[in-house]
Amino acid sequence: MAKQPIFSGAGVAIVTPFDADNRINYPVFQKLIDWQIAQGTDAIIVCGTTGESPTLTHVEHSELIRQCVQYVGGRVPVIAGTGSNDTAFGLKLSNEAERDGVDGLLMVTPYYNKTSQQGLVDHFTYLADRVSTPIILYNVPSRTGLNIQPATYQALSAHKNINAAKEANGDVSSLAQTAALCGDELVLYSGNDDQIVPFMSLGAAGVISVLSNVVPKTAHDIAAAALAGDYKTAAALQLGNLDLCTDLFADVNPVPVKEALNLMGWGVGDCRLPLTKIGDGAREKLLRALKNHQLI
């Protein structure tokens, strides 16, 4: 039986706002959620890379997911980042998120200690055997030093609880191989905003997006046009926002996107160390892009 997407379109990899004392700013977080949903965002992805999950404590991580699910209140699907390079801890995070009612679990590949391709199969199978919520595998080799191979995706796609993959390795040829091998047994999402249209032309259901943090309607519209088969419109929108897609990564994510939101008046605060203030050159690029799109 073909696996159905947890969501189709553009899901926002939402930032985690902090106050002046570096604590999670829940009032701002709620305002961001309301704005995202009003602008057409198709899903909220909480506690991902863009949400600074590596510097959230276990208590903060769990509480942020719980409050997100509660505040969204079923308006759109909520997907929680629960991956870890410690399989047992990843299961603990996942089980907690399940109890809080998330619609999906986003699980990054192990990082630093990494593993082999067989280790990936064993790691994700262990987790999938012990959850009932659909899993989205997250492949981002630039951060983890580990790449999921198409044949590994094929092996994992046989598991009923492994629903999808967020592919951020930047390799469209590899994506095509994965799509050919897995067919409708694995839903695919672009993990890069500058590749939404090419990925969706190969069958991806949408994007898990950083761009959506600043222009949620635009990201939604790109994906919606592609879902409707109108690739001319989707491509025009994609190319028309290529400067934003690029300059939101002019420094380490999520440094630029938080800077952008602060410039737009959202008051999301700084990133936690070791992430630091945006560099001058990156800030100049970001300012140009934001002004070009009349966001400031």
Residues acting as catalytic residues: 138, 166
CA distance 80 to 82: 6
